[in-house]
Chain A
């Protein structure tokens, strides 16, 4: 039975950063706003729960940010990581707007702190949330409530009925009942589809079944799929996603930040046949962690094994699970399910290729390299020789997907080259409109905040105009 709800000016689908920014912005103009969040309250906030910073342009010291970070430098950083696959117009809009977002975020309850230990390199470019993304989400829900925004949790949107170039109504399920709302305006901010591993497998092949999902299990792309099926314009390559190599023992979903492993530069990484497959010392880890997700995905069974020895154990941030430890390589191989003789041969081959290690420097490209080894290890190449030996398994951890809704500079969606006059999108679900591949730390929150605010403003204005 369909149950008709009261009239809302704006319905926001999703409950993370972009959704909340849209909802608060619309509510501040006086609009009646409803948030439909598919997760229960404890898991509200989508992937924003796992975030921790906001990349922000600034002309001078701003809040927690030191010095300055210009539009040109920001854009250049973005171009480097995306290899040029960037919509310059929208990217510059996001970058330019980020500066006015930071005071707005503080005004709406977000609190920042100096850069966290181990992330000092980001003190100039990224503003860190005190308490992390969930504290940001909590603050926004409190502010939204004060502004009169209504929130329904465990409200799963099943269908947006498109009538020509407008959304006629939204169908959703709550408490086992089918419900319908017919708002004047709709904002979709319900993330990517990465938690739907069947969809991932259709794009990636069966290997994707072995991927771990670093964030919320609630981003299954239901709304995205519903809109794409109806012909709403899409953007992005379904195989493109932000994927990193994380601890293979991490939970299938929601492992977040603590499952990352920073030890690759000080290790050798082998596949399940105990063979190396890539230069572990190619560059400093913050510049390389994002490629290892794909490297591991290309190995048999989509698994890798990091091997270090005693002298490297304290060179990297601790991770959530202790390493597997053994006094001999054979014992370590046994414990990790690797062929022992092959692992010893690989390690001995690597050790023999190591040269003078006196220049070893853990935080700089030290040029301590192997000779005559394929693949080489071009920095931090020290023999794996000092027991106990330690190992971690590595798996591909997907952060978010890039396939999404194509929007314009007003965050508005289109169908058959025509604007849909009451549908806007913000956050991960439209991030593909800006980035085609690659990722820049803290830029997801910038896109969510900037386009969330734009979508909220436009949606409210449309509601008043009708």
Chain B
């Protein structure tokens, strides 16, 4: 795995200063993990970088930030290494460069997806079908989205396997997995140790805004995913085809999911606009913002599509929604979406570090 040595070296310089201070020990999982080391190998730094949730508590509490000559900015140093680690582990290798142009890639895929799906729905419009199946048959959708969903996941699996080697992960235990899931489920690392939340949108003021918005996105996304999953099961196991009524499982999951996702993503955009960009990987701010906007578009277009059922707008809204979903799926391993997978791996690695059975 080839990572940029100057980014690693800067993170190492800062981690060594942090290790001599230790005032931030209580903020998050990064510091206990950092203080357990005396020297920082590239893999250690990669692990710390992916464990960091960018809560910024350490930055605002730090007596060594610029203009001090030590010029600490650990959230930014770790964000740079984190971003670089995703690129270094991306597979196939050639796609790693998509990270550098995430916003552009999303736009291009969105436009191509929309245009292609629109053309397809016009050319191969089914003889019969209800709801959106009147525009595109189930078979066509499956033919497009099954590979568009599974191939990126396979690519990610290859990346994560390599990442696991980089960070020195061993055999996974059930208790470590449970701990990692609990940590992610509560976004424990954005609570600030004292439970007052993190620093993000208003300098050193602690708030739960980012944690709540992130969880709205995460839960909303999972609900939407569950809605699609339940619809698939209903289709194949019970022969119940879309469109589904308002009290059906896909709608009961999907509508609140879509609303949560919209609200969460909108909140994240608002927070991101207020936060100090220099405490993250500055060059990737645009790509991250594009990713949040794409998530918003996926959810919002889905909700609008549902509201427009039966109208002629579906002809346009369906390809728009599906185009957004396609862009999102295909770029999962090469955009900010990848963070969720690497973050889970890092949390798992950290839980294993603390697991007495592993010592």
Chain A: residues with CB nearer than 8 A to chain B?
Answer: 42-43, 49-50, 52, 111, 113-114, 116-118, 129-135, 138, 142, 251, 254, 256-258, 260, 314, 317-320, 322
Chain B: residues with CB nearer than 8 A to chain A?
Answer: 16-17, 19-27, 32, 35, 38, 57-58, 60-70, 193-194, 196, 204-205
Q: Are A132 and B23 in contact (CB under 8 A)?
A: yes
Question: When chains A and B are docked, how far (Å) is the Cα of A111 from the Cα of B60?
Answer: 14
Name the contact of A111 in the complex, choosing from B19, B62, B63, B196 (C-beta under 8 A).
Answer: B196
Q: Are A314 and B21 in contact (CB under 8 A)?
A: no
Q: Are A258 and B204 in contact (CB under 8 A)?
A: no
Name the contact of B24 in the complex, choosing from A111, A131, A258 (C-beta under 8 A).
Answer: A131
Name the contact of A116 in the complex, choosing from B16, B25, B66 (C-beta under 8 A).
Answer: B25
Which chain A residue shows the least CB distance to B39?
A318
Other than the known A111-B193, A320-B16, what 13 A-B pairs have Cβ atoms closer than 8 Å?
A42-B66, A113-B194, A116-B23, A117-B22, A118-B22, A130-B26, A131-B60, A132-B21, A132-B24, A135-B23, A257-B21, A318-B19, A320-B20
B21: shortest Cβ distance to chain A, in Å?
A: 5
Name the contact of B60 in the complex, choosing from A117, A138, A314 (C-beta under 8 A).
Answer: A138
Q: Which chain B residues border A134 with CB–CB below 8 Å? A: 60-63
Name the contact of B27 in the complex, choosing from A43, A114, A131 (C-beta under 8 A).
Answer: A131
A256-B64 contact given A132-B24, A317-B20, A320-B17, CB 8 Å threshold? yes
Q: Are B21 and A258 in contact (CB under 8 A)?
A: yes
Q: Are A318 and B20 in contact (CB under 8 A)?
A: yes
Question: When chains A and B are docked, how far (Å) is the Cα of A113 from the Cα of B20?
Answer: 18
Q: Which 9 A-B pairs have the closest CB atoms?
A: A132-B23, A131-B61, A113-B26, A135-B61, A258-B20, A111-B194, A138-B204, A49-B63, A130-B26
B174: shortest Cβ distance to chain A, in Å?
A: 28
Question: When chains A and B are docked, how far (Å) is the Cα of A132 from the Cα of B61?
Answer: 7
B44: shortest Cβ distance to chain A, in Å?
A: 14
Q: Which chain A residues border B196 with CB–CB below 8 Å? A: 111
22 contacts between A and B (CB under 8 A): A42-B65, A42-B66, A111-B193, A111-B196, A113-B193, A113-B194, A116-B22, A131-B58, A132-B21, A132-B61, A132-B63, A133-B23, A134-B62, A135-B61, A135-B204, A142-B204, A256-B63, A257-B20, A258-B21, A320-B16, A320-B70, A322-B16
Which chain A residue shows the least CB distance to B193?
A130
Question: When chains A and B are docked, how far (Å) is the Cα of A258 from the Cα of B70?
Answer: 11
Q: Which chain B residues border A118 with CB–CB below 8 Å? A: 22
Name the contact of B63 in the complex, choosing from A133, A314, A319 (C-beta under 8 A).
Answer: A133
Interface centre among A118, A130, A317, by most chain B C-beta atoms within 10 angstroms, is: A130
Q: Are A318 and B16 in contact (CB under 8 A)?
A: yes
Question: When chains A and B are docked, how far (Å) is the Cα of A117 from the Cα of B38?
Answer: 13
A131-B23 contact given A111-B196, A258-B64, A318-B38, CB 8 Å threshold? yes
Question: When chains A and B are docked, how far (Å) is the Cα of A185 from the Cα of B21?
Answer: 38
Question: When chains A and B are docked, how far (Å) is the Cα of A43 from the Cα of B27?
Answer: 22
Q: Which chain A residues border B64 with CB–CB below 8 Å? A: 256, 258
Question: When chains A and B are docked, how far (Å) is the Cα of A49 from the Cα of B204?
Answer: 14
Interface centre among A42, A113, A133, by most chain B C-beta atoms within 10 angstroms, is: A113
Question: When chains A and B are docked, how far (Å) is the Cα of A49 from the Cα of B27?
Answer: 17
